[in-house]
Amino acid sequence: MNGIFSDRMQDVPRSFIREILKVTMDPEIISFAGGLPNRAFFPIDELRVATDQVFAERGADCLQYSNSEGLLELRAFIAQRYQEQQGIRLDPEQILITNGSQQALDLLAKVVLNDGESVVVEEPGYLGAIQALSLYRPRYLPVPVHDDGMAVDQLASAVERDRPRLMYTVPNFQNPSGISYSSENRREVAEIIAGRDLLLIEDDPYGALRFRGEASPSFYHLLPDQTVLLGSFSKIVVPGFRLGWIAAPAELYEKLLIAKQAADLHTCNFTQYILLRYLQDNDLDKHISRIIEAYGRQCRAMLAAIDRSFPDTVTCTRPDGGMFLWGRLPDGLPAMDLFERAVARRVVFVPGEPFYTAAGATSTFRLNFSCVGELVITDGIGRIAEAIGEMIA
Ligand code: PMP
């Protein structure tokens, strides 16, 4: 069978996290491994009402084929939100509704990258982006991210040396590390790439989930002609609708639209209608504030338990929002060993390996705090602390 597969499928790994999630379906296991939004906040009653209304108002039309760009009213809602929340002026015609922001990554790579061209990625970086980009066979230029953003010296030399076409960033509450780029770091990054033939992807599914501190301006304010904005309803309404978007300059938009048509004709318009009705009849900000309140509480509980029970030699990030934090074991201790010891104690997380484009053992690991209540968080972190104790004893 091997002979029939395309070259581009050669090096793309299966999603390691999806493999781990299979192991953790067992309800007895405490899981900090997932990357899921908390289902307790899915507005199912409101979505049921919205669904009934869509059927009543639109009848069979809501099940007909639709346009590839997405519903204009939904795109107008997104544009208005950019204006209100971030002072970003966008024409709804610049917004393309995609099948989650995951599809946006695929489409962007498809229209921009030739085989072997260079892409700057964050290290560690979002696994799903690495997987999506890998199908287009890029050469990765991993640039480390630290507590306040990208390592600008490394970025500058990578950009100068390799002339990348794309740069993928998650500047707010990054997956997997939970860090955000400071305003200063964003300015430095923008200075390095300004005027180059390089498109910066700002993927921002978590920006609305801030439970502490002040937002820094989007890259769009610094580099309007080079920035592509990716957004998603997955973390603020529901992921199962698979509704996300790209906001892109006109020329790029044209190409993305062709790629979108070729991929799937259009994003499911039934869920777009339901979401639109939901957004028109409900207060999204109030809904988001309930999510933030819980995630903030859970993050604080996790950090408090870590401060109490992990040795000082294990460090972790202290996110201001989002769903993840990132731990680092003392040098040389592989997080995979900790993972195995943790599984024996019926608690799981994701070891850092899959978030790096280069293979090799790492001492880092990701902890998710969105789905588990405070008591269970405290219990689970205590079990990991025991496992760490056993490793460094
Ligand atoms: N980007 C990042 C950084 C993510 O963490 C995720 C989901 N975990 C996505 C994109 C994909 O989201 P969507 O559901 O919109 O496809």
**Tens digits of residue pLDDT in 33-89:** 989 999 999 999 999 999 999 999 999 999 999 999 999 999 999 999 999 999 999
Nearest atom in ligand 1 to the alpha carbon of residue 99 is 16
CA angle at 104 for the pair 265 and 174, rounded to the nearest 5° = 160
* Among candidate residues 160, 106, 169, the one with its CA nearest the CA of residue 138: 106
The 3-state secondary structure of the chain reads CHHHCCHHHCCCCCCHHHHHHHHCCCCCCEECCCCCCCHHHCCHHHHHHHHHHHHHHHHHHHHCCCCCCCCHHHHHHHHHHHHHHHCCCCCHHHEEEEEHHHHHHHHHHHHHCCCCCEEEEEECCCHHHHHHHHCCCCEEEEEEEECCEECHHHHHHHHHHHCCCEEEECCCCCCCCCCCCCHHHHHHHHHHHCCCCCEEEEECCCCCCECCCCCCCCHHHHCCCCEEEEEECCCCCCCCCCEEEEECCHHHHHHHHHHHHHHHCCCCHHHHHHHHHHHHHCCHHHHHHHHHHHHHHHHHHHHHHHHHHCCCCCEECCCCECCEEEEECCCCCCHHHHHHHHHHCCEECEECHHHCCCCCCCCEEEEECCCCCHHHHHHHHHHHHHHHHHHHC
Amino acid letter at 277?
R
For the record, the structure tokens of 384 come out as 């990991």
Q: Please tell me the residue having the least CA distance from ligand 1 atom 8.
A: 35
Give the confidence band of 18 by pLDDT, cuts at 50, 70, 90.
low
Dist. CA 65 → ligand 1 center (Å): 26
The predicted model gives 274-279 an average pLDDT of 98
Pocket of ligand 1 (CB under 6 A): 35, 100-102, 126, 128, 170, 175, 203, 205, 232, 234, 239, 244
Does residue 210 carry a pLDDT above 80?
Answer: yes
Query: Which residue out of 170, 175, 209 has the highest number of ligand 1 atoms within 8 Å of its CB and is therefore the one to mutate?
Result: 175
With cut-offs at 50, 70 and 90, classify the pLDDT of residue 19: low
- CB 181, CB 219: distance < 8 Å: no
Q: Say if residue 14's pLDDT is above 70.
A: no
How far apart are the CA of 178 and the centre of ligand 1, in A? 14
Cα–Cα distance for residue pair 77/94, rounded to 1 Å: 13
Q: What is the pLDDT of residue 7?
A: 82
Average pLDDT, the chain: 95
Q: Which amino acid is at 257?
A: L
Distance from the alpha carbon of residue 185 to the mean position of ligand 1, in angstroms? 23
pTM given for the model: 0.96
- Which pLDDT belongs to residue 10? 75
* pLDDT at res. 332: 76
Residue from 328, 335, 304, 322 nearest 369 by CA: 322
Interval 324-382: pLDDT, tens: 999 999 987 999 999 999 999 999 999 999 899 987 778 999 999 999 999 999 999 99
**Does 168 have pLDDT greater than 80?**
yes
Give residue 13's pLDDT band: very low, low, confident or very high (50, 70, 90).
Answer: low
pLDDT digits (tens, 9 = 90+) for 29-47: 999 998 999 999 999 999 9
pLDDT at 172 > cutoff 80: yes
Q: What angle do CA 31, 238, 25 make, to 5 degrees?
A: 25
Report CA(85)–ligand 1 centroid distance (Å).
20
- Global ipTM: 0.99
Higher pLDDT, 27 or 22: 27
Residue recorded with tokens 């260079």: 118
What is the per-residue pLDDT for 302?
Answer: 98
Q: What does the pLDDT average to over 119-135?
A: 95
Give distance in angstroms: CA of 339 to centre of ligand 1. 24
Architecture field, domain 2-42+286-392: Alpha-Beta Complex (3.90)
> Helix 335-344 and helix 374-392: axis angle, to 10°?
120
pLDDT band for 6, please (50, 70, 90 cuts): confident
Answer yes or no: is pLDDT of 21 > 70. Answer: no
Choose which residue among 38, 101, 243 to substitute to test ligand 1 binding: the one with the highest number of ligand atoms within 8 A of its C-beta. 101
- Report the alpha-carbon distance of residue 251 to residue 387 in Å, rounded: 53
Mean pLDDT for the stretch of residues 281-306: 98
224-260: pLDDT as tens digits: 999 999 999 999 999 999 999 999 999 999 999 999 9
Report the nearest-CA residue for atom 11 of ligand 1. 102
Residue 293 sits at φ, ψ, to 5 deg, of -60, -45
The CA 101 to ligand 1 mean position distance, Å, reads 6
CATH topology for 62-281?
Aspartate Aminotransferase; domain 2 (3.40.640)
Domain positions in the chain are 2-42+286-392, 62-281
Contact yes or no for 102/132 (Cβ under 8 A): yes
Q: Which residues contact 80 (CB under 8 A, 6 or more apart)?
A: none
User: How big is the chain by its Cα radius of gyration, in Å?
Assistant: 21
Confidence class for position 276, pLDDT limits 50, 70, 90: very high
